[in-house]
Amino acid sequence: MVRGRPREEGIDDAVREAVRALLAETGYQRCTIDAVAARAGVGKAAVYRRWRSKAELVFTAVIHAADLAPPEDTGSLRGDVAAVLGVIESSLDGPELRRALPSLLADVRADPVLEARFGEVFLGRERGYLVQMLDRAVERGELSRRPDPALVHAMLLGPVLTWLHLFPEPPPSGGLAASLASPVYAAVVALGA
Amino acid sequence: MVRGRPREEGIDDAVREAVRALLAETGYQRCTIDAVAARAGVGKAAVYRRWRSKAELVFTAVIHAADLAPPEDTGSLRGDVAAVLGVIESSLDGPELRRALPSLLADVRADPVLEARFGEVFLGRERGYLVQMLDRAVERGELSRRPDPALVHAMLLGPVLTWLHLFPEPPPSGGLAASLASPVYAAVVALGA
């Protein structure tokens, strides 16, 4: 088992690289599982074994893995909010993703099984980490109670997603996460007051 | 000119109704301008004269008109934020729009001319009204300076869009706008401090 691991990791990296190249060159529609396997030089079976759908393959290659790392504990809610906004901004930024995201979401929306799996694997994982962040803030006495994690999730993810994927202008100089850190922190404090 | 107006308004209403019915019955892909004209019982030329693209037709029929009404002056920034959130929630809510929005955005993203027009007509109009709301708050002494309107736009639109179009769960009881009014108000105050 140990011997096989580097090869397996090599496949993941090659596939991720192939997805990014195909999105940039041909767009989402033509970035099929078959095309990705050919470009990565791996068997189609190896790709199908790892990802249940094209949408999931693209999501994990360009946004974040299903086993997303937990956000760092910076020692304060203000710091934690800024750190999470930075992770969200770097996950959602980039011209390939900007072009691909609406089509990816259309695929997810068209398939209830895929939609349920996305809610569970990606949004559910993110939500779980926000609960940890909020519980730390309650323990530190920074919030008097844990606010609804879904509202906190919407306040953190929504402004970044909307600016990067809907607005025509580039982010403010200094970065979007830095510009949003104070207002989003104020919003989270208001939710947990 | 005056005599023709009711007939023109009748066409707008019939087309809007036809778009909603076709989105519900057949989905975005098959809700074509030809199908809309046939369903509304109006000439195709009348539809093409009013809307430059299918994406624009669908947007104005189910989200908001190009001549969006300005938000009400409630007498306070807190009230204005709550009112705008209510308008955004009612504009973006509904199962037909939830299914159609990713495909609509994919169409817009794929066409730079259409994307520029969307930025100007829809986002630009919304942005202009937020500037009015912020200027009123500065005049009242509720903000010490006018914050970046794009950041305020992202803080108001983002959480509603993300919850209604990405999250699997229904909005909180009492409505999303009511749950977001306090945190978003706190965020706007932090931006204008």
| Predicted confidence (pLDDT) per residue in B72-117, tens digit | 899 999 999 999 999 999 999 988 899 999 999 999 988 888 899 8
Residues in contact with A18: Cβ distance below 8 Å, sequence separation at least 6, in sequence order: A36, A37, A39, A40
pLDDT per residue as tens digits for the range B112-134 = 888 998 898 889 999 999 999 99
Location of each CATH 1.10.10.60 domain in chain B: 5-50
pLDDT per residue as tens digits for the range A113-155 = 889 988 988 899 999 999 999 999 999 999 999 999 999 999 9
CA distance B66 to B1: 22
pLDDT per residue as tens digits for the range B144-167 = 999 999 999 999 999 999 999 999
Structure confidence at residue B7 (pLDDT):
64
SS3 per-residue string spanning B118-159: HHHHHHHHHHHHHHHHHHHHHHHCCCCCCCCHHHHHHHHHHH
Q: How far apart are the first and last CA of chain B?
A: 50
Whether the pLDDT of residue B4 is over 80: the answer is: no
Interchain contact B144–A (C-beta under 8 A): no
Using 50, 70 and 90 to split pLDDT, how confident is the model at A12?
A: confident
Q: Decide: B80 and B133 in contact? Cβ < 8 Å.
A: yes
To the nearest whole number, what is the mean pLDDT of chain B? 91
Q: How far apart are the first and last CA of chain A?
A: 50
- Answer yes or no: CATH 3.40.50 is held by domain B77-191: no
Q: How far is CA A127 from CA A30, A99, A119, B188, in A?
A: 32, 26, 10, 24
Structure confidence at residue B5 (pLDDT):
40
> Apex CA B171: angle with CA B169 and CA B174, to 5°?
145
Whether the pLDDT of residue A3 is over 60: the answer is: no
Location of each CATH 1.10.357 domain in chain B: 77-191
Q: Is A10 helix (H, G, I), strand (E, B) or coil?
A: helix
Looking at this predicted complex, what is its ipTM? 0.90
pLDDT per residue as tens digits for the range A39-75 = 999 999 989 988 888 998 998 888 887 777 888 899 9
Q: From the list B160, B168, B186, which residue is nearest A186 (CB)? A: B186
CA distance B146 to B133: 10
Interchain contact A67–B (C-beta under 8 A): no
- The CATH number fitting domain A5-50, selected from 2.170.130.10, 3.30.499.10, 1.10.10.60, 3.55.10.10: 1.10.10.60
Q: Which of B104, B155, B185 to mutate to test the interface with A (most CBs of A within 10 A)?
A: B155
Q: Is A187–B184 a contact, with Cβ atoms under 8 angstroms apart?
A: yes
Q: Give the chain B residue whose CA is nearest to the CA of A161.
A: B158
